[in-house]
Structure 1
Amino acid sequence: GGAGNDTIAGGLGADSLDGGPGADLYMILLATEHPQAEIHDSGTGIDELRYADTQAGTLTLFAGDSGIERVVVGTGTAASANSTATTALNVNAAAVGNALWIVGNAGANTLTGTAFADTLQGGDGVDRLVGGAGNDVYWVDLDASGAMRDTVLESLNGGFDTLELQGDLVNTSVATLTLGANLEALDGSYTTINANNLPSLLVLNTAFPYLPVSPSTTLPGVGLLNLTGNALDNRLTGNAANNRLNGAAGNDTLAGSAGIDTLVGGAGNDVLVGGTGADCFVFDTAPNAQNNLDTVSDFTMNLDRLQFSRAAFTSLGSVNGLLSRSLFYAANDASRGHDADDRIIYNTSTGALY
């Protein structure tokens, strides 16, 4: 090809294809048209390989295929291939020597990435996504009930891997996501939760340490959004509604965003960020010299609240409600009480709470 954005179709046989500079499009209409490494793009543009078969099959890419950044599954011919069709087309790029963004169609695709930092996007079908090594990103679909339609397979110690959730949760009071192992991140920022005034619940209950959820669209009727972490180091991020974020074990970061949020760090040394709104920071695990030492990064006087669990802080008394002023002592450089009644000590110069 030349210096422009070229469209190249090799056809049958072992061809050598090079689009040169520009964002080039390489067309493969049948898996059998790619019997060996054929694409050697020497340009610097974002080049795309379009696999647009009308029959189910698997396109295998080889180590010698180079210079491609994106692989798109379609059905039809030329650059207008239809990615909404349901033909089950698969891509195996395990041997390719650079990261790829691989996009499926509306069929049941199996997309296998490289050993690098790939992005695998299954499309609308019930897909199987295999990332391999590298810090991979998986775009997966949720159905209306909140269940994940796609299957993600990730290897042990295969990098820091992220799930990006897509889809609308409609009339769902509880959406429980049970996800596979060896994945580190879960991002729900592309999901929309419309629960018709019912609370929506996303529970992180397997080996996932990162769960940000901030729906890009807040529809009328979105209620309380509850996020629960696990024993790993989680990051939980709420949306503009009134959230309840519970980090459970691990050294977590909880960010409430807008709304009247409740943040529960749980065990571990957590960072709690309430965001705007009158937030409540809950301490339900007794601290010691090294563990369960939480940090509240944005406490606003006369707006936010601190809540202490009587089960963990037994010396605060046996009655629920506001603490007596006599239990609280605040002073510059304070690190201990000044009389026998003091239970909560606030250092006004450092912000430390004892």
Structure 2
Amino acid sequence: MAPLTLILGTVFGDNLTGTDGIDVIFGGRGNDTIAGGLGNDWLFGDSGDDFLAGDKGDDFMSGGAGNDVLDWDDGDGSDIMSGGSDYDTIEVDGSVTRGDNFTLEADGHRAIFTRVGLDGQTGVGSFTLTVDTAEAFDVSGDGGNDSFIIGNLGGTGIHKIAFDGGEGDDLFDAQGSHVRVEAFGGSGADRLLGSQVDDLLVGGEGVDTMTGAGGRDRFLYNGNPFANGIAAATPNGIVALNRPDIITDFTLGHDQFALDGHDLGINSIHFRSGLSNQLTDGNVLVLTDGFANAAAAARAIDNNQAIDAEAGVFVYFNTTLGISRLVYSENLGDGGPISVLANLTSLTNVGNQANFGAQSFTLV
């Protein structure tokens, strides 16, 4: 057996790094940062809020007491992880150049996180994380077309899963889980499917498809609302961008549009609902009359002299497509420019418009 190197921390916050061989590292008290090095290492955070990274090799990591982060980076081995007591997070950073194919499922009380392959090639770049105790996963796909499929995690103690797809056309599917998820598609044409409880879904740049599944879900719109293309003048003079996401199951009375007030220039919500020519001034408008396209709806708002609001959103029913749509406007009272943010494909009756309420929108 190869010799072991023992490294001991202090009662303070230590920065400890292993050797190229097999290391046993104890952080001791304090908020420690521990990296294992190249061998098959044993890392113990002990008490405190610690950060543990096994690095290369097949490592064992134990956070101990405190809110710990146990980290895996692309190129590391298959590790065994135990967060210990308090609130612990398993952090995974995938390949920056290739598409990761991740799965997460239960094996008794343990959570098994696997990269089954890269770019759809099973066995290429595969690894497994066996997680004895933890409360959260924070997974980054980085580059490539990533997939992350989550099964039933009952009995594992996992409470939350965060995913950031990064670049590429990513698939995130948590429909088989009852764990709260926060999924960020990043750039590309992503498909995000939430869990059976309350989720946060963020498509990001690109034309994305989002399904909340069960629970009370929030669909967040932030960043540049015109990032998906170039807005162009329409026949009625409204400058419009028509590159929307698809939300397949927006549930009235349960789900919400979460609007980033800083990015969209909306300081507070002033909700109004009714016929376009009868609305009073507001910056979140629901039109109960139908229109052939978003530009026609924007022009009707512009023609209403009571509306002076600048940046805001409106929901209208598109009589051509037969669905409700969410639209951003840089200037509601002056006809835009506008960007269609989302097609709400489950809302196929103009009568649904009257069922939107102020609770359908929130600022973040």
Normalising by the residue count of structure 1, what TM-score does the alignment of the two structures yield? 0.51
Give 1:31-110 correspondences, 5 Å limit: 33-34=23-24, 38-41=26-29, 43=30, 46-54=31-39, 57=40, 59=42, 61=44, 65-67=46-48, 69-74=50-55, 87-93=56-62, 96-107=64-75, 108-110=77-79
Match of residue 136 from structure 2: 136
Q: Deviation per CA, 1:84-112: give whole Å up to 9, x if none.
A: xxx44333427x22221122232244352
Secondary structure of 2:214's match?
A: coil
**Are the counterparts in 1 of residues 61 and 70 from structure 2 also a CA contact under 8 Å?**
no
Matched, 1:254 2:260: no
> Which one scores higher on RCO, CA 8 angstroms, separation ≥ 6?
2
Deviation at 1:135, TM superposition (A): 4.1
Matched, 1:212 2:201: yes
Secondary structure of 2:186's match?
A: strand
For structure 2, the 5+ residue unaligned runs are 96-114, 116-126, 226-243, 265-283, 286-309, 319-328, 360-364
What is the CA–CA distance in structure 2 between the aligned matches of 1:25 and 1:256, rounded to whole Å? 40
What is the CA–CA distance in structure 1 between the aligned matches of 2:187 and 2:151, rounded to whole Å? 23
Matched, 1:192 2:186: yes
Q: Match for 2:254: what amino acid?
A: N
**Residues 27 and 229 (structure 1), Cα distance of their counterparts in 2 relative to 1, 3 Å cut:** same
What is the CA–CA distance in structure 1 between the aligned matches of 2:151 and 2:20, rounded to whole Å? 26
Give 1:167-186 correspondences, 5 Å limit: 167-169=166-168, 172=169, 175-179=170-174, 181-186=177-182
**RMSD of the TM alignment (CA)?**
4.8
Deviation at 1:158, TM superposition (A): 2.4
Deviation at 1:255, TM superposition (A): 2.1
Deviation at 1:184, TM superposition (A): 0.6
- Identity percentage of aligned residues: 12
**Residues 227 and 256 (structure 1), Cα distance of their counterparts in 2 relative to 1, 3 Å cut:** farther
Higher strand residue share: 2
Matched, 1:160 2:159: yes
Give 1:237-248 correspondences, 5 Å limit: 237-239=220-222, 240-241=224-225, 242-248=244-250
**Are the counterparts in 2 of residues 228 and 247 from structure 1 also a CA contact under 8 Å?**
yes
**Residues 346 and 123 (structure 1), Cα distance of their counterparts in 2 relative to 1, 3 Å cut:** closer
Q: Match for 1:176: what amino acid?
A: L
**Are the counterparts in 2 of residues 160 and 183 from structure 1 also a CA contact under 8 Å?**
yes
**Are the counterparts in 2 of residues 116 and 133 from structure 1 also a CA contact under 8 Å?**
no
**Residues 49 and 151 (structure 1), Cα distance of their counterparts in 2 relative to 1, 3 Å cut:** farther
Q: Match for 1:91: what amino acid?
A: F
Secondary structure of 1:104's match?
A: strand
Q: Deviation per CA, 1:81-140: give whole Å up to 9, x if none.
A: xxxxxx44333427x222211222322443524243222222336454566666424223
Secondary structure of 1:168's match?
A: coil
Deviation at 1:236, TM superposition (A): 1.6
Q: Deviation per CA, 1:260-313: give whole Å up to 9, x if none.
A: xxxxxxxxxxxxx79945432669xxxxxxxxxxxxxx9x976799x9966483
Q: Match for 2:160: what amino acid?
A: D
Q: Match for 2:79: what amino acid?
A: T
Secondary structure of 1:313's match?
A: helix
**Residues 310 and 153 (structure 1), Cα distance of their counterparts in 2 relative to 1, 3 Å cut:** closer
What is the CA–CA distance in structure 2 between the aligned matches of 1:153 and 1:159, rounded to whole Å? 10
Secondary structure of 2:166's match?
A: strand
Q: Deviation per CA, 1:131-186: give whole Å up to 9, x if none.
A: 666642422325522423x97984447253131314311xx4xx432235243122
For structure 1, the 5+ residue unaligned runs are 1-10, 75-86, 195-199, 216-221, 260-272, 284-297, 317-343
